[in-house]
Structure 1
Amino acid sequence: MPELLHARVEACYRQAEDFFKRRFPRPEVSFRLRGLKAGVAHLQENKLRFNLQLYRENREDFLRQTVAHEVAHLVAHQLFGPRIQPHGEEWQLIMRGVYELPPHRCHNYEVQRRQVTRFIYRCACPDGEFPFSAQRHRLVAQGRRYYCRRCKATLVFSGEQRLE
């Protein structure tokens, strides 16, 4: 499956080379990206990271749009240097002129949010309920204190948890 993605990266580079009449160094390609982002270009390292889950769920658009989007970042960086805006006119030129694609900044793929546990903390206020993340709950267990901005009381774990 990632073979198609690698082939699309190569095709995007060849298009850019034909357009600009120069060679570009090929990036390292990784599939270790999770969460909301479909792809990330690491300009200094000449590296692309892609979200394999979003690729599987949106294969056609991902290959066409997302891969070109990320390659365009690296090409723009190599052509115009580090001082350009990430989605500025240079990047847009490459998206429109080289790839003939709309320069969309963000994808609109459905992203499955995983359920997370919230730990409920309370203060003296009548409606003082504060859902803490697992990380913040751990910090409290290690001695960190959090305070209500209204009543200034220390927030205390209620013993309740809920899935969100």
Structure 2
Amino acid sequence: MTLNHSEKEAVIREVHRLFAVAERYFNRSFPLPDVSFRRSGKNAGTAFLQQNRVNFHPVLLAANKAAFFSDVIPHEVSHLITWHTAGKRRRVKPHGPEWQAVMQHVYGVSPSTTHDFDLSVLGLTTFNYRCGCQTIALSVRRHNNVKKGRTYRCRRCGENLVFVKNSEAT
């Protein structure tokens, strides 16, 4: 699943449209960012603040176009707008109140920090780990870190993740 030229152009137009919305809201201009389309693990999108660039995962974008336009693109653009309005002068949390305000007040989007896209389209190798409440698939990188002694905790229950030895790498 790949993006064609017109699909990429539609994303770039949406980024530019969202910047224009922010310019009207804040009554000031912002430099338009570069937009790239590169695979980036499980990340749907990434904002590179000091480079004034956003990257979108082309495979996840192709499989989830509507969600990208309604949530992911505004999410990443909000990071850049937050950087331009508050982050250059002081350190702000990536999903802190300033970013949340841009999501809600400028774009009218609920400030969600994660996506729940089906990642099977990526064909990533994962390893199953358990905690007290769920099974979590860790990437090869994190699995190798565990083998070197690193521990990971479940964000939901706080327990350490334990490798499920009978699991197959997927």
Structure 2 CA distance, aligned partners of 1:89 and 1:41? 17
Percent identical: 34
Which segment drifts farther, 92-101 or 31-40?
A: 31-40
For normalisation by structure 1, the TM-score amounts to 0.70
Match of 1:97 in 2: 105
- Tell me how far 1:81 sits from its aligned partner: 1.9
| Superposed structure 1 runs of 4+ greater than 6 Å apart | none
- Tell me how far 1:34 sits from its aligned partner: 2.9
Query: Counterpart of 2:105 in structure 1: which amino acid?
Result: G
Match of 1:114 in 2: 123
Match of 2:159 in 1: none
Is contact 1:31–1:52 with CA below 8 Å preserved after alignment?
yes
| Mapping for residues 5-44 of structure 1, pairs under 5 Å | 5-44=11-50
**SS of residue in 2 equivalent to 1:17:** helix
Change (3 A) 1:163 1:9: same
Is contact 1:87–1:105 with CA below 8 Å preserved after alignment?
yes
Flag structure 1 segments of 5+ consecutive residues without an equivalent. Answer: 119-132, 138-145, 147-161
| Mapping for residues 14-163 of structure 1, pairs under 5 Å | 14-82=20-88, 83-112=91-120, 114=123, 116=125, 163=169
Tell me the matched-pair count: 127
**SS of residue in 2 equivalent to 1:22:** coil
- Tell me how far 1:33 sits from its aligned partner: 2.7
**SS of residue in 1 equivalent to 2:54:** strand
Change (3 A) 1:93 1:115: closer
Flag structure 2 segments of 5+ consecutive residues without an equivalent. Answer: 1-6, 128-139, 149-167
- Give CA-to-partner distance per residue, 1:94-129, whole Å, 9 cap, x none: 0000000100011111111526499xxxxxxxxxxx
After superposition, the CA RMSD in angstroms is 2.5
Structure 2 CA distance, aligned partners of 1:99 and 1:91? 11
- Tell me how far 1:35 sits from its aligned partner: 2.1
Q: Which has the larger radius of gyration?
A: 1
- Tell me how far 1:63 sits from its aligned partner: 1.1
Change (3 A) 1:14 1:58: same
**SS of residue in 2 equivalent to 1:10:** helix
**SS of residue in 2 equivalent to 1:103:** coil
Question: Whose strand fraction is larger, Structure 1's or Structure 2's?
Answer: 1
Is contact 1:115–1:163 with CA below 8 Å preserved after alignment?
no
